[in-house]
């Protein structure tokens, strides 16, 4: 069995275990019932750090069920391979070559540290950031909930935000905290840190430490690309939402609230899934902007999904180079290898085809089961991209989906989390390179 197969099967195993636990009565709140399909959907959404829900997390699940969801989010967010490698390290075993490859599959091809060191650093950084976020959120929740409930709510939302999963214990998500600066900016900070990726964060921290000692080395091209694209997407998305929703969902709000809500929507659209605005009430133009942000997603090796910021940045650089009739793609005084360009193009095309294919299937399965008002092309497209990008934002269509529709979105969330290219390569079998080359001939493009 190849590492790609183990990587996929490990996620499947965690989802099935989580679904089995959520399908038992001990996970249900008093008077609630969760059927096996809904349990599978919820477990998939949690393990794939998505946030799409068909059941109210705070009311339909007991404390035990909420803890199961929290653990699924944590394991899915930090990566199963990181946990497995860390456990192997704790047991005193040497990290095998297969486990090294699995960790590299999870965090990309840019690893420089030993997997044991990487896993330890990842967990330390993640738990430290989540703890700080939980303490800050507790300051707000403690004034509204009893101390035990406030503590659990703070931990739950801190973990969900850092892991870019839009699960919330509150029925209207975070809409009630639209004007609360502390909750808004703590959640935004956790989402951004989790969405940058551990490689980027460790590179920035290493650069800052060495700069103090006058031994700083330049940031890697990967870090520069991710930070630049992330900042550009957040600012452009916030500006678009601010303008498009001025007389919409932001009408009647103060200028500060409008700015804060626009920033929150732009940040959360990139794979987080929390919302302080009613997603179903957003204008069509805003939904279109959000769909673009959801499709691009976060950085590789992060807790987010999508085609990734580095992929999008590479595509933009490729288009710019081709328009200038340049063969090489140059970014920040560096030339990208041809295989990086090919991989970015393959991921983008596969992702687009995948989204369109599942959109077609949902349009067929939900033709009669969903209400005519909600079963629109825009709603189906939004839910499909949200599932693929492991975002969790919804216009309200997901809870009304049929059994077939829920299974389709579960499959899409899984593919979006492990990566479409990973799935294709795992199913493709052993690579066979041809021993010959056909005659070359050009075709007309454009």
443 Cα distance to chain centroid: 38
- pLDDT at res. 372: 46
Domain count, the chain: 1
Cα–Cα distance, 137 to 420 (Å, whole number): 35
- Within a domain: residue 445? no
Inside any domain, residue 433 = no
**pLDDT tier for residue 374 given thresholds of 50, 70 and 90:** very low
Cα separation, 83 vs 220, whole angstroms? 26
- Residue bearing the bigger pLDDT, 88 or 41: 41
Residue 110 is predicted with a pLDDT of: 47
Predicted confidence (pLDDT) per residue in 35-71, tens digit: 999 999 999 999 999 989 999 999 999 999 999 999 9
In a domain, 444, yes or no: no
Contact 72, 80 (CB under 8 A): no
Query: Which residues, including other chains, have CB under 8 Å from residue 195's CB and lie 6 or more apart?
Result: 164, 230, 270, 271, 272, 298, 299, 302, 303, 304
pLDDT average, residue stretch 153-170: 93
Q: Across the strands, what pairs with 330?
A: 335
The answer on pLDDT for 7 being more than 90 is: no
- Predicted local confidence at residue 291, as pLDDT: 95
Mean pLDDT, all residues of the chain: 85
User: Does 437 reside within a domain?
Assistant: no
Helices (H) and strands (E) in the chain, counts: 18, 2
In a domain, 446, yes or no: no
CA distance 348 to 301: 17
Whether 431 maps to a domain, the answer reads no
Contact 403, 372 (CB under 8 A): no
Closest CA to 427 of 419, 438, 417: 419
Q: 285 is written with which tokens?
A: 């133009």
24 has a pLDDT exceeding 50: yes
Residue 20 lies in domain: 3-423
Residue 177 reports pLDDT greater than 60: yes
436 belongs to a structural domain: no
DSSP state string for 97-127:
HHHHHHHHHHH-S---S-HHHHHHHHHHHHH
Q: Residue 393: inside a domain, yes or no?
A: yes
> Treating both helix axes as pointing N-terminal to C-terminal, what angle do 309-323 and 284-296 enclose, rounded to 10 degrees?
100
């Amino acid at each position: 069995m190849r590492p790609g197969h183990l990587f996929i099967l490990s996620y499947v195993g965690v989802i099935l275990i989580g679904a089995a636990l959520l399908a038992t009565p001990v996970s249900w709140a008093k008077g609630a019932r969760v059927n096996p399909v809904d349990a599978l959907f919820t477990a998939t959404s949690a393990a794939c750090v998505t946030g799409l829900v068909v059941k109210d997390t705070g009311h339909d699940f007991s404390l035990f069920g909420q803890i199961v969801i929290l653990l699924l989010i944590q394991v899915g967010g930090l990566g199963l391979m990181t946990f497995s490698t860390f456990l192997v390290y704790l047991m005193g075993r040497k990290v095998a070559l297969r486990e090294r490859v699995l960790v590299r599959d999870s965090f990309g091809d840019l690893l420089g540290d030993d997997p044991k060191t990487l896993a330890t650093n990842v967990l330390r950084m993640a738990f430290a950031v989540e703890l700080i976020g939980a303490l800050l959120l507790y300051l707000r929740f403690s004034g509204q909930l009893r101390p035990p409930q406030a503590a659990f709510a703070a931990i739950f939302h801190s973990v969900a935000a850092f892991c870019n999963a839009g699960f919330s214990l509150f029925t209207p998500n975070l809409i009630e905290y639209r004007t609360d600066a502390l909750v808004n900016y703590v959640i935004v900070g956790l989402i951004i840190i989790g969405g940058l990726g551990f490689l980027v964060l460790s590179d920035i921290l290493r650069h800052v430490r060495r700069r103090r000692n006058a031994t700083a080395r330049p940031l890697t091209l990967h870090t520069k690309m991710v930070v630049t694209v992330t900042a550009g997407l957040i600012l452009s998305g916030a500006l678009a939402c601010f303008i498009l929703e001025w007389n919409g969902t932001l009408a009647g709000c103060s200028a500060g609230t409008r700015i804060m809500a626009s920033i929150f929507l732009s940040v959360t659209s990139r794979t987080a899934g929390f919302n302080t605005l009613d997603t179903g009430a957003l204008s069509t133009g805003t939904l279109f902007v959000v769909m673009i942000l959801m499709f691009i997603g976060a950085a590789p090796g992060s807790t987010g999904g999508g085609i990734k910021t580095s992929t999008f940045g590479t595509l933009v650089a490729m288009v710019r180079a081709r328009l200038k009739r340049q063969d090489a793609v140059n970014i920040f005084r560096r030339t990208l290898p041809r295989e990086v360009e090919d991989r970015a193009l393959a991921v983008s095309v596969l992702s687009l085809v995948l989204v369109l294919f599942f959109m077609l299937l949902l349009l067929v399965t939900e033709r009669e089961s969903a209400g005519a008002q909600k079963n629109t092309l825009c709603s189906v497209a939004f839910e499909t991209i949200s599932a693929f990008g492991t975002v969790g934002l919804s216009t309200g269509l997901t809870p009304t989906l049929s059994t077939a529709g829920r299974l389709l979105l579960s499959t899409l969330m899984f593919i979006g989390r492990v990566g479409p290219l990973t799935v294709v390569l795992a199913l493709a079998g052993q690579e066979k390179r041809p021993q010959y080359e056909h005659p070359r001939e050009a075709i007309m493009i454009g």
